[in-house]
Amino acid sequence: MSEEKAMTIRDLVARKGGEKIVMVSAYDAMFARIADDAGVDAILVGDSLANIVAGQDSTLRVTLDQMIYHGRAARRGCRRALLVVDMPFMTYQVSSEDAMRNAGRIMQETGAQAVKLEGGSAARAEAVAKVVEMGVPVMGHLGFTPQSVHALGGARVQGKNDAAASALLDDARRLEAAGAFAIVLELVPAALAARVTEAVKVPTIGIGAGARCDGQVLVLPDLLGLNGDFAPRFLKRYAELGTAARDAVRQFVAETRDATFPSAQHSY
């Protein structure tokens, strides 16, 4: 049997209004392979690795080198799904030239097919346009943008009043015009996410943004139940592997201490 065709940017864009897009965040070869084998369409190496992998309280401490390291690792486990790597804080906010240079490094050093950056202001759209112009596909990100967590006053639903909703719609149209091939909508009221999805011709991928987006994204350790203290309303746990992992390690501890492991079966 021949291998399934690898996902491309064109394939993802063609899903607009059709079959739902499935994306997960993963940070290494092992979990990328699991997600890829399970049939996801895209794998995001998110700067949320600051929280999930490094135990930080925000995404602001992640460096470009760290994103490249994890992007390269995930690439080794990703055969079919589209690989997208987050551009971390301060790698694109200062100037379009910074954005171009750093996006180029990510693409060259990880083998990813796209980068993702946050925000939809005029300056951010200019950076997106410049990066796209040099041949790097860009995924946008609107709503709650974690790199702006302090300015936004924490992880809060965005676009709840008319003015904020109108601004978010304008940002989405601006990103589309700049050449973004898809837009993540995070912590956005479901009705507003549906309006954005209808207003743009590129796919929207929701996280805490209701069911009418063109796709959904969750962090893989979160949906597997490995991040036990994290329980936002939008998260559905599809397994409780954190509990299973603790039980397994406890059994290993007990069997080692009572000398029932290793047995003859596990010895040479």
Domain identity same for 162 and 266? no
10-residue stretch averages of pLDDT, the chain, 268 residues long: 80 98 98 98 98 94 97 97 98 97 98 98 97 98 94 92 98 98 98 98 98 98 93 95 97 97 95
- Tally of domains within the chain: 2
Residues 17 and 130 in one domain: yes
Q: Are 187 and 248 in a shared domain?
A: no
18 and 40 co-located in one domain: yes
Residue 256 lies in a domain: yes
Which two tokens mark 157?
Answer: 């639903």
pTM of the model: 0.95
Residue 1, domain member (yes or no) = no
User: What DSSP string describes 15-71?
Assistant: TTTSSPEEEEE--SHHHHHHHHHHT-SEEEE-TTHHHHTT--SSGGG--HHHHHHHH
Verify that 258 and 143 share a domain, yes or no. Answer: no
Query: Could you tell me the CATH number of the domain that includes residue 70?
Result: 3.20.20.60
> Residue 4: inside a domain, yes or no?
no
Confidence (pLDDT) at 207: 98
What amino acid is encoded at 120 in this protein? G
How high is the pLDDT of residue 2?
44
Kindly state whether residue 2 falls inside one of the protein's structural domains: no
Are residues 219 and 265 located together in one domain of the fold? no
Question: Is 78 found in the same domain as 35?
Answer: yes
Give dist(CA 40, CA 7) in Å, integer: 10
Annotation says 186 is catalytic = yes
Tell me how far apart the alpha carbons of residues 119 and 22 are, in angstroms, rounded to a whole number: 22
Domain span at residue 260 reads: 242-268
From 3, 186, 198, 255, active-site residue: 186
Residue 192 belongs to a domain: yes
Separation of alpha carbons 226 and 222, rounded Å: 6
Answer yes or no: do 157 and 255 share one domain. no
Same domain, 93 and 167: yes
Cα–Cα distance list, 216 to 22, 61, 182 (Å):
5, 26, 12
Q: Is 3 domain-assigned?
A: no
Together in a domain, 110 and 87:
yes
Q: Are strands 82-86 and 21-25 parallel, antiparallel or unpaired?
A: unpaired
Residue 181 counted as domain residue: yes
- Residue appearing with tokens 């969750």: 218
Residues 259 and 133 grouped into a single domain: no
71 in a structural domain:
yes
How much is the pLDDT for 3? 62
- For residues 221 and 264, state if they share a domain: no
